[in-house]
Amino acid sequence: MLKEVDELLQGSRRALARLLTKVENHEADIALAELFPHTGKAWVIGITGSPGTGKSSLVNALAQAYRIHGKTVAIVAVDPTSPFTGGAILGDRIRMRDLSGDSGVFIRSMATRGSLGGLARTTRDAVRVLDAAGYDIVLVETVGAGQSEVEIVRIANTTLVIEAPGLGDDVQAIKAGILEIADILVVNKADRIGANQTVRALKNMLELGHSTKQDHAVAHHGRMMVVQASENNAPDEYWLPPVLQTVAIENTGIPELLDAIDQHRTYRTKTGLASSIEVRTIEDELVQRLRETLLERFMNDLDPQRMQMLIQQIQQRHIDPQSAIQQLITQNNTSIVKD
């Protein structure tokens, strides 16, 4: 066993920090393989939503609440939109200062390098390291409402989508995709005007979505497909996401949020249901890793000049992009299947 893996399993925070850096640099494959048997115990909570809705404040409040319940907490902040690792993270650090000095809490910001897919992989691996390190709860904060969040959020066992008042009846303001991934909706800043209206708008949207869930479309490997609701899907196997109100900066609504997360956990771990979700999650991860690994290998073997030439040819309309890809693949073919 690697020395640092051993140290991490013994509870060394330094080994943990070092391993997370290696994960970011994609240099932790052996360690991850050794750690894998020690994972699967943490409950991973994803927190996503538009900028400034109060995600970090909620993460802070949740972490404190879990600490009071005697649970250890790891926090991962991911910011795929920011090209820097400075600003936003420094802000988060300051907001989370209430937690510093507590050995039952570990906070980490993920550096944003590489592709979107790479970020999802890095985050997933980081969560695994924290899981193996023995944290009971792992909170993953991501900003925004795009595809990247959907990918990152797939790592979570329970996903919270945070909204703030001001949404009004403008249903368009709510990205449909974000509702799809929400296990629990939180209207934070409930001390502000319009919170009830936002709650109502969200509930309406959820119920609309729910009634059409008989035949609902799901994204699978990037393709939309219609899934028939099966006959033996007992009604209690549906999870209708609750809509809760919180005031993160005053700790209002936090116990109720903890309860809702607990209920979702019970629902997810029910026999059968948990394993079917797990099968899909593992399949998704394998496809994602396969795609990345093959692309990486392909790009490494690719002659950059060949690529430049094809780009020029496409520009001049001498060849179309798909035919160019066919040419590249035929030329690189042998290198893809080797080793």
Ligand X SMILES: Nc1nc2c(ncn2[C@@H]2O[C@H](COP(=O)(O)OP(=O)(O)OP(=O)(O)O)[C@@H](O)[C@H]2O)c(=O)[nH]1
Number of residues interacting with ligand X: please give it, by CB under 6 A.
17
Q: Is 174 helix (H, G, I), strand (E, B) or coil?
A: coil
Beta carbons of 36 and 129 less than 8 angstroms apart: no
Establish if 247 lies at the interface with ligand X (CB under 6 A).
Answer: yes
Establish if 150 lies at the interface with ligand X (CB under 6 A).
Answer: no
H or E element that contains 105: strand 105-110
Cα–Cα distance between 248 and 267 in angstroms, integer? 25
CA torsion sign, 289 to 72 to 269 to 154? negative
List 40, 52, 86, 87, residue binding ligand X (CB under 6 A): 52
List 23, 43, 48, 56, residue binding ligand X (CB under 6 A): 56
Establish if 48 lies at the interface with Mg ion (CB under 5 A).
Answer: no
Based on CB atoms, which residue is closest to ligand X, 57 or 158? Answer: 57
Establish if 249 lies at the interface with ligand X (CB under 6 A).
Answer: yes
Give ∠ CA 61-64-69 in degrees, rounded to 5. 125
H or E element that contains 117: helix 116-132
Torsion angle of the four alpha carbons 231, 270, 135, 150, in this order, in degrees rounded to the nearest 10: 10
List 7, 102, 136, 191, residue binding ligand X (CB under 6 A): 191
Establish if 192 lies at the interface with ligand X (CB under 6 A).
Answer: yes
Residue with nearest beta carbon to Mg ion: 56
Establish if 56 lies at the interface with Mg ion (CB under 5 A).
Answer: yes
Give ∠ CA 181-65-71 in degrees, rounded to 5. 90
Cα–Cα distance between 66 and 72 in angstroms, integer? 7
Establish if 112 lies at the interface with Mg ion (CB under 5 A).
Answer: no
Cα–Cα distance between 146 and 296 in angstroms, integer? 24
What string marks each residue from 202 to 241 as x (binds ligand X by CB under 6 A) or -? ----------------------------------------
Looking at 4-12, 51-59, 62-70, 220-228, which segment touches Mg ion (CB under 5 A)? 51-59
Based on CB atoms, which residue is closest to ligand X, 22 or 95? Answer: 95
Cα–Cα distance between 123 and 69 in angstroms, integer? 26
Based on CB atoms, which residue is closest to ligand X, 42 or 248? Answer: 248
**Residue 192 touches which of ligand X, Mg ion, none (CB < 5 to 8 A by kind)?**
ligand X
Q: Where are the beta strands (DSSP E) in 9-55?
A: 43-49
Contacts with ligand X by CB under 6 A lie at 51-57, 88, 95, 143, 188-189, 191-192, 247-249
Tell me which residues touch Mg ion (CB under 5 A). 55-56
